[in-house]
Amino acid sequence: MVLLTKCGAMTLFLLGLTAACASAKGGGVGEVIDRKVVVKGWRGNDPKTDLKKGDPVFVGTEVQTFADAGARIAINTDLEKRKGVIILGPETQIVLQERALTEARRLKKLSWLIKLGQFRLALWPRDPEDPADEGQCLIYTAAGDLIELTGTDVVVKVDRDGTLTVWVIEGEVTVKAADRGEPVRVPAGHGTRVRPGREPEAPARFGPADGRPGPGPLPIPEETIFPDPPYFDLRDIRLDLPG
């Protein structure tokens, strides 16, 4: 198991530039950067197909990984701001549900549905000068739990019994259980769980605020997919570095 390491803003930007041309040609909003073993993708009632490096990702695309499989997907590659990376672990199933843009072609809203498994979402930081209603990012579970991001880097896991675990590596999220209790704000370096039929647990520290490893009652997020490039120690690069 390899410790889940941080993706820097500069790295996300470079990945986005590399992928932008290809995904724009295919009409997609993202592109598969890399994948391990077999990764399936489909939209609606379309048949499942093997996703390969360079394949575009569209709104409505559902992605599924299997045992020992994983994928790294660049998202918002056609936008100047709010580019990002999605990292899927094994036995994970997610859907890019919605993406809405403003008239100025900035991200207005992005939403995901995670059905099962673990994934990490790292987004280019939101510009503080942007309107408050721009750049909203939501993650839903099949049970109806809701995660709203006001930060840039989060790990989400849904177990087979429906238990949701959220780790905030940078920024802050608000977690709301389906039809139960009040929303819980979770800052960087903390995590929370939502067990089926219960309210979110109080945030618990899994590491210091910069997301580096540390003791705590929640397990440290782990990545079993791809190592970081040998010329980068991404754990030492903050996402909010100027571009």
Domain map (residue ranges) of the chain: 2-228
Rounded average pLDDT per 10-residue block, the chain, 243 residues = 34 38 59 89 94 94 91 87 85 95 90 93 78 85 91 86 89 89 89 92 73 49 42 32 27
Pairing of strands 107-123, 136-141: parallel
pTM of the shown model: 0.77
201 DSSP 8-state letter:
P
Beta bridge partners of 70: 36
The answer to whether the CB of 33 falls within 8 A of the CB of 77 is: no
Is the separation of the CB atoms in 172 and 185 below 8 Å?
A: yes
Question: Residue 131: which residues within 8 A CB-CB, separation 6 or more?
Answer: none
Beta partners for residue 204, in sequence order: 191
Side chain identity, residue 145: D
What is the DSSP pairing of strand 93-101 with strand 146-149? unpaired
Q: How many CB atoms lie within 10 A of CB 125?
A: 22
Domain 2-228 CATH class label: mainly beta
pLDDT of 219: 57
